[in-house]
Amino acid sequence: MVHDMIVVEKMGKPGVAIVSGRFESDAVASSRAFGMPDLQWVVVPHIYRNLDPETCRTQTEDAIDDIVGSLTSSIEAREQAEATDTRRYEGVDRHDSILKMNQEFINEDLGDGLFLHPATAEAVAEMLTGTNLPPDHVVCDMPPGFGVATVEKIAINSVMAGAKPEHLPVVIAAVKALSKLGGQGGKSLLMSTSPQAPLLIVNGPVTKNLGLNPGSALGPGRDNQVNTLIGRAFALCFRNIGHWYLNKMDMDTIGTSRKFIQCIAENEDASPWDGFHVDQGFKASESTVSVFVTDGELDVQDQGNHTAEGLLKNLAYGSTFGTMSLQSPRGGQERLILMPPDVARPVGSQGFTKQAAREFIHKHARGSVGKLMQYMPLEGEARVHDHWKWLEHLTEEQLLEITVPIMNDADDCYILVVGADRAKTAVFPSGPAPVTEGIDQYMA
C-alpha cells in the first residue's frame, strides 16, 4: 500500500494510505525505504481483508476527516536515527562485555534472538580475506528495504553469525541472487503477511570443500553446522542490510521457523541427473547458490511404491494442496521438491529424465477448483479476473468436481535431490522462480 501511494504521489497526484494499527511501524519503514519519508497516511483499527461490510464502512467513515486533512496539509520528513560506525562495550571481563553487546543489539532488533559474535575490526578484516572483492564494493541494493549491501557490511553480519572467511563468497552470492529475484527482489512477497522465507541451495565443488550437508540437511546439529552458519549469515544480512525486521517490512501474521534461514547442498553424488545448477545454465564444475522463496513445507511419505510411476504419482498427489490464484488467467503455483535418493534413483533408473519426471508430476498434480478457490469468495469480488468470472454461475458441487493443474507448466516444478535414505520427499510451495548465482567469482 505505501509503495503504491508513493507511485501515485510521483505521478503528481496526492495520495493518502489507509493503514491498520499493526502496520504503522511498517509504513514508517517503507516510506523511508522507498524514498518518500514525508508520505502521509491515516490509521484505522482493523485490517479490511476479512471485515464484515458494516465494520468496513464505519471505520472508513470515522477516518474521513483525517483523510481530508492529510490531503490538504504536509508534514516534515520522518527522520531516521543516524547509524553508528563503531560501538564500544565494557564489562568486568570480555564475556560480560559481549553479553552487554548482545543485549543492546537485541534491544535494537539487530539480531535473530540468538547469541551474536562481536564484529571487531580484526574479526571483520579476517572475514574479508575470504573474498577477492574490496570492502567498499557494492554488491547490490538488498530487498525488501533496499539497503546498500557492501562487501564490508556482508562481512560484518557474517562475523556476527559465527561464519568463517571461506563461507563469505556463498553469502555474497546469495545476497546478489536475492536482489535479482522476481519483481524488485521479491519485495512484495517478503513484506507479505504470509510466511514466505528464502531457502539457499548450493551446488558444485564448493559443497564438499566447505562441508555442506546434502543429506538430512534441514535442521540443527553437528552435521549441519556449516549449513546453519551460512544460512544465519545470510539471514542477518537480510535483517540488518535489507531491513527485514518483524513488524517493519516483515508483516507475517504467525511466522515460521523457516525464517531461521537454512543453506543446504544438493546431493549430486546420489542423483541420477545433473545438478540443479546445470539446469540453470552453469557447468557441473562451477559452484553456485540458488535462492528459493518458500511458503510452507509438507512431508510426502511413501510406504512401498517401487516403480517410477507409483513413486511419482504419490508425489504428485501429495503436492496437491494450497490455493489457486483468481487474480490472473494463470492460476497455478510453483513447487520446490527435495527428492531423496531412495525416490530419485528408481525414477531415474527406470528411464525418467528429470524433465520427464517434472512433466509427469505436472500432469497428475490436479486439484479441485472448489477447494482451491475457497479462500476468495467469487461473488462481488473485484479482484477476480474476468477469466474466472464464469465460475460464479456454478453450484458448489460443480466447482468441487472441476479439477485444474496445481502448476501452470512443468517448468514450475523444481526437483533437487536432497536427503538421506528413506522415501520421504519434502514439498514446498514456492515462487517466484528461483535465481542462481555463481560463487566462484567472489572467491579469494
The per-residue pLDDT of the chain, averaged, comes to: 90
Residue 237 has pLDDT above 70, yes or no: yes
Q: Which three cell numbers stand for residue 240?
A: 540488518
pLDDT of residue 66: 81
Give me the mean pLDDT over the 300-319 stretch.
95
Crossing angle between the packed helical segments 2-10 and 24-33, to the nearest 10 degrees: 40
Per-residue pLDDT band for 8 (boundaries 50, 70, 90) equals: confident
pLDDT of residue 287: 98
Residue 368 has pLDDT above 80, yes or no: yes
Q: Which residues contact 92 (CB under 8 A, 6 or more apart)?
A: none
As a dihedral over the C-alpha atoms of residue 227, residue 229, residue 235, residue 237, rounded to 10 degrees, the angle is -130
Higher pLDDT, 300 or 80: 300
Give me the mean pLDDT over the 59-78 stretch.
78
Per-residue pLDDT band for 83 (boundaries 50, 70, 90) equals: low
pLDDT of residue 188: 64
Give me the mean pLDDT over the 34-40 stretch.
77
Q: Which of 46-60, 93-107, 273-287 has the lowest mean pLDDT?
A: 46-60
Per-residue pLDDT band for 402 (boundaries 50, 70, 90) equals: very high
Residue 75 parent element (H or E)? none
Higher pLDDT, 7 or 168: 168
pLDDT of residue 5: 73
pLDDT of residue 341: 96
Cα separation, 407 vs 320, whole angstroms: 9
Give me the mean pLDDT over the 352-380 stretch.
92
pLDDT of residue 375: 86
Higher pLDDT, 247 or 239: 239
Give me the mean pLDDT over the 127-141 stretch.
97
pLDDT of residue 245: 86
Q: Are 77 and 38 in contact (CB under 8 A)?
A: yes
Give me the mean pLDDT over the 114-124 stretch.
96
Q: Are 372 and 403 in contact (CB under 8 A)?
A: no
pLDDT of residue 246: 83
pLDDT of residue 247: 81
Cα separation, 265 vs 206, whole angstroms: 9
Q: Which three cell numbers stand for residue 180?
A: 535479482
Per-residue pLDDT band for 84 (boundaries 50, 70, 90) equals: low
pLDDT of residue 15: 78
pLDDT of residue 89: 94
* pLDDT above 70 coverage of the chain, percent: 95
105 alpha-carbon distance from chain centroid: 24
Per-residue pLDDT band for 305 (boundaries 50, 70, 90) equals: very high
How much is the pTM?
A: 0.88
Residue 26 has pLDDT above 80, yes or no: no
Per-residue pLDDT band for 77 (boundaries 50, 70, 90) equals: low
Per-residue pLDDT band for 80 (boundaries 50, 70, 90) equals: low
pLDDT of residue 36: 77
pLDDT of residue 82: 61
Cα separation, 426 vs 275, whole angstroms: 17
Q: Are 28 and 2 in contact (CB under 8 A)?
A: no
Q: Which of 224-238, 334-348, 370-384 has the lowest mean pLDDT?
A: 370-384
Q: Which of 1-5, 23-27, 79-83, 251-255 has the lowest mean pLDDT?
A: 79-83
Higher pLDDT, 286 or 71: 286
Cα separation, 74 vs 37, whole angstroms: 12
Query: Which of 398, 385, 381, 256 lies closest to 324, judged by CA?
Result: 385
Residue 27 has pLDDT above 80, yes or no: no
Per-residue pLDDT band for 39 (boundaries 50, 70, 90) equals: confident
Q: Peptide bond before 144: cis, by omega within 30 degrees of 0?
A: yes
Question: 200 by DSSP, 3-state: which?
Answer: strand
Condensed to tens digits (0 to 9), the pLDDT of residues 141-194 reads 998 888 999 999 999 999 999 999 999 999 999 999 999 998 665 666 677 888
pLDDT of residue 79: 59
Condensed to tens digits (0 to 9), the pLDDT of residues 409-439 reads 999 999 999 999 889 999 999 989 999 999 9
pLDDT of residue 85: 74
Q: Peptide bond before 432: cis, by omega within 30 degrees of 0?
A: yes
